[in-house]
């Protein structure tokens, strides 16, 4: 069986999804982050995992994680924090980010049915060159420590590291993770049933209304 870890920040204005500002306010960006995290926890929480763990950076975990184990994130760069999570566990482990609310059980099913003797890891590539999921049969932080993060070649570096370790890697579907307002629109359009899509519709409608109500000076918005 496999443990699930979702890594997340507390969804506070100015701390999450800051690249959505502008056009959204920092408060609206935080609302979208909270909805994305809620969707992720809902899908992950329904999967047949041995443990459900939230690797959390913050003070107050979201209510959707009330039944989850809370693992405080360590300090340091992202690769160090991810490595610490895998060092903490000694069972097959699936790590998920909080920026792909469109995930569903079908996309993650191979991790729970397809380990066998021939698969050592599962990798979920993101459209921006990163990754949204990584599962290791024998977790160890050494497979992540030192990987350059938040770059267009992060995924390539991570796959190379797995290959150099002699691991056989299965691929999960490629997904768009949410960094920009264009990403948010793409994800909301592809998964209209999600809380994220409903939140996105609400904040964009609010933003349009706010801009329409701005006074004009010599024909220009002030």
The CATH classification number of 3-210 equals 3.90.550.10
pLDDT of residue 1: 84
The residues spanned by each domain of the chain are: 3-210
pLDDT of residue 117: 83
136 beta partners: 93, 121
CA distance 56 to 74: 9
What are 150-201's pLDDT values in tens digits? Answer: 999 999 999 999 999 999 999 999 999 999 999 999 999 999 999 999 999 9
What are 20-51's pLDDT values in tens digits? Answer: 999 999 999 999 999 999 999 999 999 999 99
CA distance 166 to 181: 38
Q: How many helices (H) and strands (E) does the chain have?
A: 6, 9
Report how far apart, in Å, the C-alpha atoms of 11 and of each of 14, 32, 36, 118, 155 are. 9, 9, 10, 39, 25
State yes or no: pLDDT of 219 exceeds 50.
no
Report how far apart, in Å, the C-alpha atoms of 52 and of each of 43, 55, 73, 93 are. 11, 10, 15, 10
CA distance 49 to 1: 6
Rounded (to 5) percent helix, strand, coil in the chain: 40, 20, 40
Lowest mean pLDDT segment, chosen from 88-92, 108-112, 113-117, 192-196: 113-117
Put simply, whether the predicted model's pTM sits higher than 0.75 gets the answer yes
């Amino acid at each position: 069986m496999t443990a699930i870890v979702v890594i997340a920040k507390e969804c506070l204005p100015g701390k999450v999804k800051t690249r959505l500002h502008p056009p959204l306010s920092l408060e609206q960006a935080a609302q979208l982050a909270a909805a994305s995290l809620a969707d992720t926890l809902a899908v992950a929480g329904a999967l047949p995992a041995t443990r459900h763990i939230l690797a959390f950076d913050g003070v107050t975990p979201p209510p959707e994680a009330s039944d989850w184990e809370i693992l405080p994130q360590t300090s340091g760069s992202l690769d160090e924090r991810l490595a610490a999570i895998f060092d903490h566990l000694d069972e097959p482990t699936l790590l998920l980010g909080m920026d792909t609310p469109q995930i569903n059980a079908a996309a993650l099913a191979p991790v729970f049915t397809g380990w066998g003797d021939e698969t050592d890891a599962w990798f979920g590539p993101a459209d921006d060159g990163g990754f949204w999921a990584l599962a290791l049969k024998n977790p160890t932080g050494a497979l992540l420590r030192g990987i350059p993060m938040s770059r267009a070649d992060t995924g390539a570096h991570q796959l190379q590291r797995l290959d150099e370790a002699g691991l056989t890697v299965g691929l999960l579907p490629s997904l768009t993770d949410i960094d920009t307002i264009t990403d948010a629109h793409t994800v909301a359009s592809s998964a209209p049933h999600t809380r994220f899509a409903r939140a996105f519709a609400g904040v964009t409608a609010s933003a349009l209304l706010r801009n329409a109500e701005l006074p004009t000076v010599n024909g220009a918005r002030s």
